[in-house]
Structure 1
Amino acid sequence: MVSAMHMSDGLVNAPTSLLFGAIAIVGMALCLWRARTDLDDRTAPMAGLVTAFVFAVQMINFPILPGASGHLLGGALVAILVGPYVGAVCIGIVLLVQALLFADGGLTALGMNVTNMALIGTFVGYGVAVLLRGLARRGRGGLLVVAFTAAFANTVVASLGFVLEYAIGGAGGASLGTVFTLMVGLHALIGIGEGVITAATVGAVAAVRPDLVHLLRGTGPTLVRKEATA
């Protein structure tokens, strides 16, 4: 069993692996290029911390299929704290280290894993958070709701990426209906846990240093003022 939503070698055919490998390379290259503008003396240390944190929580796995299992993803968490581009790079580093040093996810499937978790998950999570940013400005409770919702969406939509790749070139023997039901159903449950962890982590950081929360940049003083008078 390979850990995580990670796909193992042979779970999809070679053309599909090559296709999403190319998508991952292009996507991560763009993220690296854009991340340069987001990295500063506040973001860089936070990026290191969230990368280590995500690496740790991804070690908790829930079996789903032969060759794959589910786990917390961390995309929304890193995107809210350090932005989507730096966040995608953080998740990509975690996935690369896991594949190379821990055999956690197949090397031929690395592109699909990066696409699902570093790209789709991170940007969907951040997109949801941005849409709800007005709620986060209202105070700590709103921020926690936004973080939870973004993390839940990140988890479920990333699992749909897995299903799409399996639909295009699945070679694992399980039917598409089975893959969809197990992946999306279990990740909806995992999304609840991820939402709680993300909300707790983002809330803890914002309570002490709202200026370190990328999503709140430009809104930090409002959040602090409301919390101080609560």
Structure 2
Amino acid sequence: MVSATQMPLAMHMSDGLVNAPTAVGFGLVAVVGLAIAVHRARADLDDRTAPMAGLVTAFVFAVQMINFPILPGASGHLLGGALVAILVGPWVGSLCIAIVLVVQAFLFADGGLTALGTNIVNMALVGVLAGHLVATALRPLARRGRAGLVTTAFAAALVNTVVAALAFVVEYAIGGAGGASLGTVAVLMLGLHVLIGIGEGVITAATVGAVAGVRPDLVYLLRGAAAPLEVRGSAS
């Protein structure tokens, strides 16, 4: 059993943090969610999205290996939910994050194997969906120019991070086996991930802004805009 002092401050859930029925249950949720994503992603994959999906997956994998300090004894890293939703769409984006999590779990022991389902639900499904919903709601702002786009990316990333942390807390509430109280987990995860979300927002905004500055046509969120090149032009 994991003691209260060993509670993780990062998003990746470790083995033994939730009981077996909860791990299995969310594993099934992850399988169903990814199956839906595979089916829906077919409509989004084209000659622009497919190469971008590979690049985004590699970028998220690389950046997740870098932790930035938040508080003494606590650090955070990019989750990437809003980033992938904005650049390649929610369905392809969910698959990108899931691939990153699977590779991390099997090759780098980052997140437990028995907790892989919960981590996929948190970051690849719930986190990406939250980022997508915020970005979609702010799409009119994003299409006004570069400032609107980076503001949208920042807001979507901040919300994505906090909502993914909330999903972590809900899973712990259902079947927590870590030894810490639900209140302790909630305070640690939500409080710290508000701060982590700010860092996530800055990285996401900078990355989306850089891509849009060169190839706005590759940004999924901007598809269908009447004048997509305004994003690049407004940066000058």
Q: Same-fold call, TM > 0.5? A: yes
Q: How many residues align?
A: 226
- Secondary structure of 1:37's aligned partner: coil
- Secondary structure of 1:73's aligned partner: coil
- Aligned partner of 1:116 among 118, 122, 146: 122
> Counterpart of 1:88?
94
Residue 45 of structure 1 pairs with residue 51 of structure 2: yes
**Contact 2:82–2:153 (CA under 8 A) maintained in structure 1:** yes
Query: How has the CA–CA distance of structure 1 residues 162 and 179 changed in structure 2, closer, same or farther, with 3 Å as cutoff?
Result: same
**Contact 2:10–2:76 (CA under 8 A) maintained in structure 1:** yes
Equivalent positions of 1:4-83 (< 5 A) are: 4-61=10-67, 70-83=76-89
RMSD: 2.0
Q: With the length of structure 2 as denominator, give the TM-score of the two structures.
A: 0.90
> Counterpart of 1:140?
146
Q: CA deviation at 1:225?
A: 3.5
Q: CA deviation at 1:63?
A: 9.2
**Contact 1:83–1:214 (CA under 8 A) maintained in structure 2:** yes
Q: CA deviation at 1:4?
A: 4.0
Query: What is the distance in 2 between the residues matched to 1:106 and 1:87?
Result: 22
> Counterpart of 1:215?
221
Equivalent residue letter for 1:104? D
Q: CA deviation at 1:3?
A: 8.9
Q: Residue by residue, what CA displacement relative to the aligned partner does 1:103-152 show, whole Å, maximum 9, x if unpaired?
A: 11111110000000000000110110000001011111000100000000
- Aligned partner of 1:154 among 149, 160, 163: 160
Looking at secondary structure, tell me which structure has more helix per residue. 1
Query: What is the distance in 2 between the residues matched to 1:226 and 1:74?
Result: 22
Q: Any unmatched runs of 5+ in structure 1?
A: none
Q: Any unmatched runs of 5+ in structure 2?
A: 1-5
**Contact 2:56–2:84 (CA under 8 A) maintained in structure 1:** yes
Q: With the length of structure 1 as denominator, give the TM-score of the two structures.
A: 0.93
